Structure 1
Amino acid sequence: MTAAVIGDEASFEAAADRVRKAKFRSELQVREIPAPERIAPRSLALAAGVAQGSTHPADDGDSPYGAGRFILLHDPASAPEWGADFRIVCFAQAPLEIEIGIDPFIADVAWSWLVDALESRGARYEYASGTATKTLSTGFGTLAEQGDAAQIEIRASWTPVDHDFAAHAEAWSELLCLLAGLPHHEGIASLGSKRARRGGLGA
């Protein structure tokens, strides 16, 4: 193993440790999940789901109230394309009330929440891209009892230009909370502390 490879691995592990120390609201259940293997040589993935009452997210983070993914990618070979060795990819979705779903500006508002969440935490970034998609559906046949439904989904990626990777993960979690309609709340839980108590994420 060359010194360059060792240095790359050390850089990624330091960044991953910072992500694991991010603090999340108690309404979110966040866990580390297997990271995708083909996007970058090194990556870390988190799944989050919104818990309400006795309903808790599944092991993969899926929740009817809102769910998301956060992936930290590391690939020095992609620096010319990304602008740096790291890239963050995230996904967040939540159901909407029909009255909100038909708002023609809801996609713009949802994207602005992501930008505001990053800026409020001082998470510096560049080369951001993504989509905000709202979906309206009506059930028919055996699904008729579901009636009308609406959903908002954001898929985004950006290049972090600092080493405060925890701030980027916290911004993603705040976006998910806002999409799920959760009120602002100061109660937070640390993924790192859960990792220590359980002897490892996902245990």
Structure 2
Amino acid sequence: MAEHRPPAAASPFAHAADEVRAVEFRGDLSVREITAPAGLATNALALAGDVRPEDEGVDSPYGTGRFILLHDPDEPTQWNGPWRIVCFAQAPLEPDIGVDPLLADVAWAWLTDALRSRNAPFHSASGTATKTLSKGFGSLASEGDGAQIELRASWSPEGAIGPHVEAWAELVCMLAGLPPGSEGIAMLGSRRATRG
């Protein structure tokens, strides 16, 4: 008689990956799984998100982002644990908003507020917020002035991973000018007239 064995338990990373893939996103944010960068950790999973993309697989003119979940059971010192999340989000801005001296602080606050509002505890956070102003010359003069905000951040998550994915999605939409509850609201066309 064959011995009955219970199925092997899923690894912690497999469980977390299933949780990430189960997250539901608002209708105006298109999210897809992409190839994770190699060499960052023992296990990795990556997502790309685009706000109201015109073409699938092409960065949106309204805003775009990346989310990477990393797992290393050796617990790298900088992580202070076995898990790390790395995210990126960028969006075009009106030039008059791009010159706001508090813009970088606001972008970071949107991330930390989104994590707290989703009950996504974290520690060991780090990141940069970069604002870029541009002006077209020569054959690009007709494009006028442009501005862009870009946030790159990483943190070590605690507890469930799904709320961290939800917070990242909220950040991408906030940078693009779509606060929570704004699904289906028209976006100003002038936000698109920028260069990255």
Structure 1 length as normaliser, TM-score? 0.82
**Counterpart mapping for 1:1-203 below 5 A:** 10-51=11-52, 55-59=53-57, 62-162=59-159, 164-185=160-181
> Which residue does 2:188 correspond to in 1?
none
CA distance in 2 between partners of 1:81 and 1:123 (Å): 19
Identity %: 58
Helix, strand or coil: the match of 1:69? strand
Helix, strand or coil: the match of 1:80? coil
CA contact (8 A) 1:114 1:171 kept: yes
Q: Name the aligned partner's letter for residue 81 of structure 2.
A: A
Deviation at 1:23, TM superposition (A): 2.1
Structural RMSD (CA): 1.9
CA distance in 2 between partners of 1:153 and 1:41 (Å): 27
Structure 1 unaligned regions, length at least 5: 1-5, 188-203
Q: Name the aligned partner's letter for residue 176 of structure 1.
A: V
Helix, strand or coil: the match of 1:137? strand
Deviation at 1:20, TM superposition (A): 1.0
CA separation of 1:100 and 1:186: change in aligned 2, threshold 3 A? closer
CA distance in 2 between partners of 1:57 and 1:48 (Å): 12
Q: Name the aligned partner's letter for residue 137 of structure 1.
A: S
Structure 2 length as normaliser, TM-score? 0.85
The structure, 1 or 2, with the larger RCO (C-alpha pairs under 8 Å, 6+ apart) is 1
Q: 76-85 vs 127-136, which deviates more?
A: 76-85
Q: Name the aligned partner's letter for residue 168 of structure 2.
A: W
CA distance in 1 between partners of 2:56 and 2:148 (Å): 19
Helix, strand or coil: the match of 1:47? strand
Structure 1 or 2, whichever has the larger Rg, is 2
Helix, strand or coil: the match of 1:156? strand
Paired residues, number: 177
CA distance in 2 between partners of 1:97 and 1:186 (Å): 19
Q: Which has the higher helix share?
A: 1
CA distance in 1 between partners of 2:180 and 2:95 (Å): 22
